[in-house]
Structure 1
Amino acid sequence: MRYGIGQSWTAPRTYIPTSGFQPAEDLDYRLFCYTWVAVSEEQVVLVDGGCDEPTATARGITWDRSPMDSLRVLGIDPKDVDDVVISHLHWDHAGNLTAFPNAQIHLHPAELRYATGPPMEHRYLRRPYDTAQLRDMVSFVHEGRVQFTDGTTEIAPGLTVHPVGGHTPGTQVVRVPTHRGPVVLASDSRHFHHNNSGGDAGGVPFSIVVHVDDYCAAARTVDDLAASPDHVIPGHDPSVSHRYPTLDGDELISRLDVAPEPSRQ
């Protein structure tokens, strides 16, 4: 479910400058902002909460529609969401959680330690975090709503969370069973498909990364978890909106349980 688009990203901002990778200039480097939902007869699992419109606007994101309104388009009341998996605590992934009052929240403990610990003394490292969102998360911990996922964890039958780190210390990806095989929601372990290109099996890291070695290892983990490259869903790639069929013509909701159109890249 797309909720906004960052228009200002360019090729030089997309990779670590010292990687030596020369990306194609004709690729779409806009930062599409998504959340994801997996639905079965028994359970509704949301992956990431996105952010609210004021936060998006302040961060230079052109707003489309809130994740809650997209859920309503799908016939899902936000109060009926059973679980929310937080891939990591950056501002564009960890917001809106008060809108899901009945959901259990799943977070890697390393992420909360990092986002509320000594590294946040440094402006560069704290910039991708939102203090209001962090306050909410700490409150949820004290309310007993957070289950810490330290290691591979099954959230729903066949739906598993896998810690990979790299982008942030507590980044985790989600493997979802679908009719076409297991799909991996890579979130920001892979912003774009081309973060796993450049002739290096370990990938070319996005410019915001805490541990480069873990990021490169995560690229291989994601590939191993997915049924094929077309079963990997990057966290911000415009091609997800372009290649996957929409739900009843709604351009903000893409179906990932069916095969995408062939890549044009």
Structure 2
Amino acid sequence: MTFRIHHMNCGTMCPLCARLINGSGGWTTRAKLVCHCLLIESDHGLILVDTGVGTGDVKEPKRRLGGGFLAMTNPKLDLSETAFVQIKAKGLNPADVTHIVPTHLDLDHAGGLSDFPDAQVHVLGVELKHAIQPSKKDSLRFRKAQFEHGPRWVEHNHTPLNWFGFEALAPIPELADQLLMVPLIGHTRGHVGVAVRNDQKWLLHAGDAYFHRTQVAATLAMPAGLKVFEQLVQTLPEPRKRTTARLRELALKHPNDVELFCAHDPVEFERYQ
């Protein structure tokens, strides 16, 4: 069975808060933030885990991303970083993307959905509800312009599986032993991690369930201000704290079975380059 995993940065950012997250600023390699996405070649077509910034976002940044996001994150907005262009650069056809599994629907994770209009988009029901009918506050993170093409949503509401003590579900039944959605609630109401099996171990794309590698390490050494930043972008504070604690426990107890990475840490992304 074909199952090949590619790691892609689909959106470089150098935000005002870079010092809070990575301890430094400027455009140095480890000061920037990335949008860590996965492209999976499978017998069931191409699969994306998160889409990062899309071609539409690059062409119409203010309408699709909003002025506040642009000012806060200073995104690079480079077409060559979009998943659509990177897939073509690998000699693959973007039209072959059959499934997309976003960790959540924040604008920097779902911007590329419109580049793959025929793909099924797998989300928890609660995430979909709040993304398409956002509160005034949530409208800053969920951008209607990114969904106006009419994504082919596939709503999931049951988590019948157990994965290292976490609830889980198989969005693509034929790949139940290789790809799972793992609810990691807190950053958003329907945030998930996506567990992907490679030859040696499971990889868990934890999305924005944490932001810095030290949060799931033996020694907690978060840069100053990180806690404040997390509080600013979290939806459910207590579930978010419990989720991060459980992820750290998973990383420490099962280092030979599971490898974690989040969406925006550039050092974690470098691990796979």
TM-score normalised by length of structure 2: 0.71
Pick one of 255, 259, 270 that aligns with 1:228: 255
Identity, % of aligned positions: 23
Structure 1 gap ranges (5+):
15-22, 246-265
Show CA shifts across 1:157-182 (max 9, x none): 42100112111101111000001200
Worse-matched range after superposition: 126-135 or 232-241: 126-135
For residue 201 of structure 2, give the secondary structure of its aligned residue in structure 1: coil
Match of 1:261 in 2: none
Q: 2:121 matched to 1:105?
A: yes
Further displaced range: 212-221 or 75-84 = 212-221
Name 2:85's counterpart in structure 1.
69
How far does residue 47 in structure 1 lie from its aligned partner after superposition?
0.8
In structure 2, the partner of 1:121 is 136
Structure 1 residue 183: Cα displacement: 0.4
Matched, 1:208 2:233: yes
- The reply on whether 1:3 has 2:4 as its aligned counterpart is no
SS at match of 1:4: coil
Contact 2:36-2:262 within 8 A present in 1 as well: no
2:188 maps to amino acid = T
Instruction: Please give the alpha-carbon distance, in whole angstroms, between the structure 2 residues aligned to 1:7 and 1:166.
Output: 24
- Which secondary structure does the structure 2 equivalent of 1:216 belong to? helix
Tell me: CA distance 1:199–1:99, structure 2 relative to 1, closer, same or farther (3 Å). Answer: closer
Contact 1:164/1:221 (CA < 8 Å) preserved in 2? no
Q: Are the aligned partners of 1:3 and 1:63 in contact in 2 as well (CA < 8 Å)?
A: no
For the Cα contact (< 8 Å) 2:184–2:191, is it kept in 1? yes
Please say if residues 11 and 52 of structure 2, whose CA atoms lie closer than 8 Å, have aligned partners that are also in contact. Answer: no
Q: Note closer, same or farther for the CA distance 1:126–1:6 as it changes in structure 2 (3 Å cut).
A: same
- Deviation of 1:91 after TM superposition, in Å, equals 0.7
> Quick one: distance in 2 between partners of 1:116 and 1:81?
23
Q: RMSD across aligned C-alpha pairs, in angstroms? A: 3.0
What SS does the corresponding residue of 2:180 show, helix, strand or coil? strand
Cα drift, residue 69 of structure 1 = 1.2
For the pair 1:244 / 2:272, whether they are aligned, the reply is yes
Secondary structure, counterpart of 1:190 in structure 2: coil
Matched, 1:178 2:205: no
Task: Give, in whole Å, the separation in 2 of the partners of 1:57 and 1:63.
Answer: 13
1:97 deviates by: 1.9
- Inter-partner Cα distance in structure 2 for 1:5 and 1:169: 25
Change (3 A) 1:44 1:89: same
Preserved CA contact (<8 Å) 1:223 1:232: no
Alignment of 1:157-172 (within 5 A): 157-158=176-177, 159-172=179-192
**Contact 2:216 / 2:249 at 8 angstroms: preserved in 1?**
no
